[in-house]
């Protein structure tokens, strides 16, 4: 059986919660930038800009950003937060079966769920605007502007 002592379990669950929460925060706060790698300086700068403002985020990361602090009170309801809640509920249901075999595993799953929920809530509420500045200084729109011609051509192609 797989079993760890309590201090090691607490240390590992804290690390899992922090790591998953950090990743979920960056992912949720910068969802418009899917073509940019998740752990890039640009996405970190834009996620930070949503939390502390563009000027301070640029100073911290050394990457220019035009993103400003923008609050979205209903942003907490997103797929990352919902996934964390579902994982937490599934872990509660499965605890009675898994504790017989591995004492620490449910704690690790619960830590990952807590990280998803925390990161999803924070990233959803503190979002970056649709456009951001790249390291070369040009402003890029990450796909939030609708393109009616593209939409219409897709509809026409389906009809033909």
CB-based contacts of 117, cutoff 8 Å, min separation 6: 81, 84, 85, 88
Give the whole-angstrom CA distance, residue 100 versus residue 92. 14
Whether pLDDT at 111 is above 60: yes
- In DSSP terms, which residues pair with 132 in a beta bridge? 140
**Residues of the domain holding 119:** 6-159
In a domain, 65, yes or no: yes
Query: With bands split at pLDDT 50, 70 and 90, how would you rate the model's confidence at 81?
Result: very high
In a domain, 117, yes or no: yes
Full-prediction pTM beyond 0.85? no
Give the whole-angstrom CA distance, residue 128 versus residue 48. 9
Count of domains for the chain:
1
Whether pLDDT at 145 is above 70: no
In a domain, 1, yes or no: no
């Amino acid at each position: 059986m797989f079993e760890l002592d309590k201090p090691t379990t607490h240390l590992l669950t804290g690390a899992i919660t922090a790591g998953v929460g950090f990743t979920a925060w960056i992912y949720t706060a910068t969802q418009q930038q899917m073509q940019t790698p998740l752990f890039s300086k640009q996405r970190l700068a834009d996620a930070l800009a949503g939390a502390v403002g563009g000027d301070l985020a640029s100073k911290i990361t050394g990457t220019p950003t035009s993103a400003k602090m923008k609050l979205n009170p209903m942003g907490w309801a997103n797929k990352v937060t919902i996934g964390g809640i579902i994982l937490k509920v599934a872990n509660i249901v499965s605890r009675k079966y898994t504790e017989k075999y591995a004492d620490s595993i449910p704690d690790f799953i619960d830590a990952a769920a807590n990280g998803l929920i925390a990161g999803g809530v924070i990233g959803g509420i503190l979002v970056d605007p649709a456009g951001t500045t790249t390291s070369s200084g040009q402003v890029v729109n990450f796909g939030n502007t609708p393109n009616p011609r593209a939409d219409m051509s897709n509809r026409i192609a389906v009809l033909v």
